[in-house]
Amino acid sequence: MAISSKHTDVREANPLRRTLADVRHGLLGLHKALIVAEQLTYERIYGRVDSTGQLLQLVMNDPWFTWLHPLSNMVVRIDELLDGNNQLA
């Protein structure tokens, strides 16, 4: 799963934006590690996942991976905050 890196180079003077970008970076690493761990367990029980596309569909739609959705949503929310034109105090 490729992850966009447009937030990894936050060069603005706003310390909150830098902090949010750092948190986002850490959450993405955690998210990826959790998906890999869950994929391994899922494959032991249900068989091999054949492609990254199939894994993406499982992560988005299979109840096995539902517990990861709040973490995914948090990253999306941080993206929205960093992309938005609103001023972060």
Q: Could you tell me the residue ranges of all domains in the chain?
A: 24-81
Write down the H helix ranges in the chain: 15-46, 52-61, 69-83
pLDDT band at 1 (very low <50, low <70, confident <90, very high): very low
Number of residues that this document lists for the chain: 89
Specify the pLDDT at position 37. 98
Residue 31 is which amino acid?
Answer: H
Specify the pLDDT at position 84. 79
Tens-place pLDDT, residues 50-87: 999 999 999 999 999 999 999 999 999 999 999 976 66
Q: What is the mean pLDDT of residues 2-10?
A: 50
Q: What is the mean pLDDT of residues 3-23?
A: 72
Specify the pLDDT at position 87. 65
What φ, ψ does residue 14 adopt, rounded to 5°?
-70, 110
Cα(86)–Cα(37) distance, rounded to whole angstroms?
36
Q: What is the DSSP string of 21-32?
A: HHHHHHHHHHHH
